[in-house]
Structure 1
Amino acid sequence: MAGHIDIVSDAICPWCWIGKRHFAAALAILDEEGLRFTWSWRPYQLNPDMPAAGVAREAYRARKFGNAERARQLDAQVADVGRSAGLDFRFDRMTRTPNTIEAHRLLRLAEPSGRQDALAEALFRAYFHEGQDIGDRVVLGAIGRDVGVDDAAIAAFEGSEAAREEVVAEDAALRQAGLNGVPSFVLDRHLLFSGALPPEQMAASIGRAVRILRDRAAR
């Protein structure tokens, strides 16, 4: 293995879904060069002060961007980029902007079962294509079961506050370290880049970082 990559992300970030698709393509490029990686999803809340029940999306976006028309224009721009990555954003189906702490808890609990990456994909699809409320614990539990998260992890998620403290602490640590945008990609604790870069650019950045780190280790 060439290293471990942490993907710092939030399930309500459209660029994180696009970034995930670009990252998969970048990994295929790197695999042809003989570079293979493991990776994990790490928590970052775009809206850490969001009410637990979330808010109505249209009104929230209008306030955030000045008016509803500007918010719709931005959604259309994201949808255009998404289509080029093979993704179908359905902003018309989305009614709420959720608090994502529950989604981050489930992602963290899913990691030992090896279903974290599949869960991340399912969360993005549930929110951006199906318009589901991924702040709802019942909705999240069903998504977790559908992708094969193990029963013990689902039970801990649904029946307790398991992993909440860890998620909050890791989110805070990332902010304190200076990270302020998602998606961000971290190789063996070294920040590579932030943003949904094109696959070729991602692959070049990751490959360059591997060579630099190997050089340092050899000295």
Structure 2
Amino acid sequence: MKSLDIEITYDFICPWCWIGHSNLKHALKDVAPDLTPKLSYSPYELNSSMPRAGASRKEYRTAKFGSWARSQAMDADVTSAGRKVGLEFNYDRIEVTPNTRLAHRLMAYAQRAGDEGKTEALFDAIFSAYFSRGENIGTLEVLVRLAAAVGFEAQDVREFLESAQGEAEVVARELEAQSQGVSAVPSVRIGHSRIGGAQPPAIFAATLRAESEAGAVETDPLS
């Protein structure tokens, strides 16, 4: 088996990050079956100055894009793109644009736990909660429930998020991403190659093959 490091830099309010992740997963299924990806997730807050309680999405998007009509047109484009890859976007259900720091800290907790399956499931669950069901993923109760649903211990998650744990880690990883030239998300590093944007599966697949052939590490399945 060959091991290949893949780092996904993202924010939970970025719909293209969810779409890009889905495209990457499709590419991983199609590429050589002897490839073992080692996924990691790096935070990037698009709205770092967002109040911790979040803001009215309609007011926020109207101010950001000049009109609510323009925001709705952009939402329709995303909804169409998501539908093509099997993702459900229901923007009519979203009332709050959240602060995503707490959700990023939850991902830090998940990665510390070391269960890649649960971590990936949580990653998708947070996106789905926000974009499909309109839940406020900036709140403790929503995040604890999502984490418990994919197999994490609810009380451990609650204690982690109620403390300051993971805060410095999130900040450090965001600064590291910026120092590496990341200025927008999604940004996916596959081996030594970096791909920006929600590229189609074929682009990810080509890079996966190239990096696998160039320098993926052989691993012992019995080790």
Q: What's the CA shift for 1:151?
A: 4.8
Q: What is the aligned partner in structure 2 of residue 104 from structure 1?
A: 104
The answer on whether the counterparts of 1:192 and 1:209 sit within 8 Å (CA) in structure 2 is no
Q: What's the CA shift for 1:153?
A: 4.1
Q: One-letter code of the match for 1:61?
A: R
Task: Give the whole-Å Cα distance in 1 for the aligned partners of 2:70 and 2:158.
Answer: 42
Q: One-letter code of the match for 1:75?
A: D
Q: What's the CA shift for 1:4?
A: 1.2
Task: Give the whole-Å Cα distance in 2 for the aligned partners of 1:156 and 1:183.
Answer: 30
Structure 2: give runs of 5+ residues left out of the alignment.
Answer: 217-223
Post-superposition CA distance 1:61-92 (Å, at most 9, x none): 11111111000000000000000001110000
Task: Give the whole-Å Cα distance in 2 for the aligned partners of 1:169 and 1:57.
Answer: 28
Aligned partner of residue 18 in structure 1, secondary structure: helix
Post-superposition CA distance 1:73-126 (Å, at most 9, x none): 000000000000011100000001111000000011012241211100000000
Q: What's the CA shift for 1:155?
A: 3.7
Q: What is the aligned partner in structure 2 of residue 217 from structure 1?
A: none
Of 179-188 and 11-20, deviating more is 179-188
Aligned partner of residue 42 in structure 2, secondary structure: strand
Q: What is the aligned partner in structure 2 of residue 199 from structure 1?
A: 201
Change (3 A) 1:95 1:155: closer
Of 53-62 and 112-121, deviating more is 112-121
Aligned partner of residue 184 in structure 2, secondary structure: coil
The answer on whether the counterparts of 1:156 and 1:162 sit within 8 Å (CA) in structure 2 is no
Give percent identity, aligned residues only.
38
The answer on whether the counterparts of 2:5 and 2:39 sit within 8 Å (CA) in structure 1 is yes
Task: Give the whole-Å Cα distance in 2 for the aligned partners of 1:191 and 1:11.
Answer: 23
Q: What is the aligned partner in structure 1 of residue 80 from structure 2?
A: 80
Q: What is the aligned partner in structure 1 of residue 121 from structure 2?
A: 118
Q: What's the CA shift for 1:172?
A: 1.5
The answer on whether the counterparts of 1:109 and 1:153 sit within 8 Å (CA) in structure 2 is no
Pair 1:26-2:27 in alignment: yes
The answer on whether the counterparts of 1:16 and 1:196 sit within 8 Å (CA) in structure 2 is yes
Superposition TM-score, scaled by structure 2 size:
0.90
The answer on whether the counterparts of 2:140 and 2:158 sit within 8 Å (CA) in structure 1 is no
RMSD: 1.5
Post-superposition CA distance 1:114-165 (Å, at most 9, x none): 1211100000000000000000111111111111123564143233121011
The answer on whether the counterparts of 2:129 and 2:137 sit within 8 Å (CA) in structure 1 is yes
Q: Paired residue for 1:176, among 179, 201, 209?
A: 179
Task: Give the whole-Å Cα distance in 1 for the aligned partners of 2:16 and 2:53.
Answer: 23
Of 78-87 and 34-43, deviating more is 34-43
Change (3 A) 1:113 1:155: farther
The answer on whether the counterparts of 2:9 and 2:185 sit within 8 Å (CA) in structure 1 is yes
The aligned length equals 212
Structure 1: give runs of 5+ residues left out of the alignment.
Answer: 215-219
Matches within 5 A, 1:1-150: 1-32=2-33, 34-111=34-111, 112-114=113-115, 115-150=118-153
Post-superposition CA distance 1:170-200 (Å, at most 9, x none): 1112112210111111134x34201111111
The answer on whether the counterparts of 1:5 and 1:187 sit within 8 Å (CA) in structure 2 is yes
The answer on whether the counterparts of 2:147 and 2:154 sit within 8 Å (CA) in structure 1 is no
| Larger RCO, structures 1/2 (Cα 8 Å, 6+ apart) | 2
